[in-house]
Amino acid sequence: MDWNNALLESLIWISKAFIISIICLSLIVIILARFTIWGRQFRRLTWAFFSPTRSKKPLLWLAGIVFLTLFSVRMNVLFSFWSNGLYSALQKLDAKVFWTMVIIFSILATVHVVRALINFYVRQAFLIHWRVWLTNNLVERWLSNQAYHRTQFVAQKIDNPDQRIQQDVEGFVSSSLLLSMGVLDSVVSLFSFSFILWGLSGALGMFGVEIPRAMVFLVYIYVLIATIFAVRVGRPLMRLSFMREKFNADFRYALVRVREYAESIAFFRGENVERSALASRFSDIVGNMWAIISRSLKFQGLNLVVSQIAVVFPLIIQAPRFFSKQITLGDMMQTAQAFGQVQDSLSFFRNAYDDFAGYRAIMNRLTGYLDSIDAALQLPGAQIGYQQNIFIVDGLTVKTPDQLMLVENLNLNLPPMASLLIRGRSGVGKTTLLRAVSGLWPYVEGNIARPDPQHTLFLPQKPYLPLGTLRTALHYPNLVRNDDGASEVLRKCQLSHLIPRLDDDADWSQILSLGEQQRLAIGRVLLSRPQVVFLDEASSAMDEGLEHAMYQLIRDTLPQVIMVSVGHRSSLAVFHAQELMLFGAGKWRLGAMEGWIGATEAPALPV
């Protein structure tokens, strides 16, 4: 090989290969995205990331990775010819050529190291940008339109969305790049080293027939047969990989549940039940692991046998030509290397079959996640219009998922200062009615008019306290303001002992009692100053004296607020002018509340 022209030839080769690769990759991606399940899944997940209308950077990053991959293939070709020259010099005992080849190696090795480092950085940077975009995209879709809540009502429920957003996204982007560039590297290497092998290969007589360039044909036949067997052996790995992710996620979720409900489990002495449940879930993991090991032993065993045979196979074929002095030692060693490269390229799909199996499982999980969110967005619901300082319900019908009637044709009109207590026996749909009003319950018909979410507050029986400082929990779901009056609010809610800890970062849901949490939620009402507040058993953990003080605090601080409560205690009657009694099967009654003491409060208007 003329090493003086090697650099120029390499640059020309890389340029041509780059242009051809970009064109071919674009056509392949378009065809796959249109006509194959994998392609359609990939397009749905991340097509927008590569759209030039959004940003040209991802395509430029990808082009750089393709260029560096082709550069790597060309370096392997140059190393192959260097190996030929080195071994030929050793066979001829030519010291001058030997030392020349050592100098050439130092140059090639330096270029190879620099290329490898640049390639590592470019790939990792690209993966980070891709993962950030995809994670943000999936999180946004999960949180938009309360899909994270509504997915529990769809037929195809998703398990462990947290794992799909975190672990599966990471696996998807890394596997996408690894496998796609692996395919590109294999295809380009296949063509490059096939030409080298073609030039080094000679004729081979078999059964009285002379086969020209036999080495090339033999390597293709050899790998084709091995791949057919490998696909048949490795096919079950795809399903096993999918189940592995599911079983592991289910086990982690069960462990988190034990931690979350540790106090309740301890009170019930439920360790035996929890131990049995955890053991059952973990046994699924172990069973799946043994199944993967059993199948992998067969699959990897076949791959190892094929790879080991490939080491000596080209040497055996070329040995007669070497001993008859038709080829040099360098030619023989380059033949072995070229054969190995062609064999590796052809074997890429066989060797990476379990990787493709895992990749398919990841794509199925991520597209299943999108299917569930799309289905949640298609669920029906009440027509909610935003109107300030009023709460109107017009012809509201609420049903169960089994289409059993809870509330039928309900009509309400509550102006500022109005108050309504919703009562009824357990299970008639009181909390479900509030869910319907908030837009969380999909099995609803009718129209609702209420203030926008910024001026509406729902207080459940067990308040949600986010991780972070107590000040953050007090302001939730609003952001903390500089002059927030948090200390004064805690004092009014009889939580003065917590003032010194306002900026302590902790898991407050595990520190505060339920009664303290409910009073903290009342503090949220005072800080956010809503136009309408819905309280669903929001004072159930307080004694009647505290409950009376908290309701009086809301009415004194926010005299214009519309207050709608769900509760069983008769002590709530004095703070509500109207009573909505639910009887089940769609029946209800709206009337004045006996015992109401709010003499200045406006009653509910008739519809």
Q: Are residues 129 and 185 in the same domain?
A: yes
Q: What is the CATH number of the domain that holds 472?
A: 3.40.50.300
Q: How far is CA 400 from the centre of its chain?
A: 31
Picking from 339, 357, 377, the residue at the C-terminal end of a domain is 377
Q: Are residues 392 and 351 in the same domain?
A: no
Least confident of 113-127, 218-232, 286-300, 540-554: 218-232
Q: C-alpha distances in angstroms, 326 versus 43, 202, 279, 332?
A: 53, 9, 67, 10
Residue at 356 is within a domain: yes
Provide, for the chain, the percentages of residues in helix, strand and coil under a 3-state DSSP scheme, each rounded to the nearest 5.
Answer: 65, 10, 20
d(C-alpha 542, C-alpha 518), whole Å: 8
Q: Are residues 405 and 511 in the same domain?
A: yes
Q: Are residues 403 and 361 in the same domain?
A: no
Least confident of 228-232, 293-297, 515-519, 541-545: 228-232
pLDDT of residue 497: 93
Confidence label for 5 from pLDDT (cuts 50, 70 and 90): low
Mean pLDDT for 490-508 is 90
pLDDT of residue 604: 44
% of residues, the chain, pLDDT over 70: 94
Q: Are residues 326 and 388 in the same domain?
A: no
Q: Is residue 548 a contact partner of residue 571, using CB atoms and an 8 Å limit?
A: yes
d(C-alpha 319, C-alpha 194), whole Å: 19
Q: Are residues 401 and 373 in the same domain?
A: no
pLDDT of residue 605: 41
More confident residue, 153 or 433: 433
Q: Are residues 358 and 430 in the same domain?
A: no
Number of folded domains that form the chain: 2
Maximum average pLDDT range among 152-166, 173-187, 298-312: 173-187
Mean pLDDT for 402-422 is 91
d(C-alpha 80, C-alpha 118), whole Å: 22
Confidence label for 601 from pLDDT (cuts 50, 70 and 90): very low
Picking from 332, 360, 377, the residue at the C-terminal end of a domain is 377
d(C-alpha 277, C-alpha 257), whole Å: 11
Nearest to 535 by CA among 419, 447, 381: 419
Mean pLDDT for 254-280 is 83
d(C-alpha 121, C-alpha 100), whole Å: 32
Q: C-alpha distances in angstroms, 344 versus 28, 38, 214, 310?
A: 22, 24, 18, 9
Q: Is residue 43 a contact partner of residue 33, using CB atoms and an 8 Å limit?
A: yes
Picking from 362, 377, 392, the residue at the C-terminal end of a domain is 377
pLDDT of residue 206: 59
More confident residue, 378 or 177: 177
pLDDT of residue 204: 63
Average pLDDT of the residues of the chain: 84
Q: Are residues 410 and 307 in the same domain?
A: no
Q: Residue 172 is part of which domain span?
A: 6-377
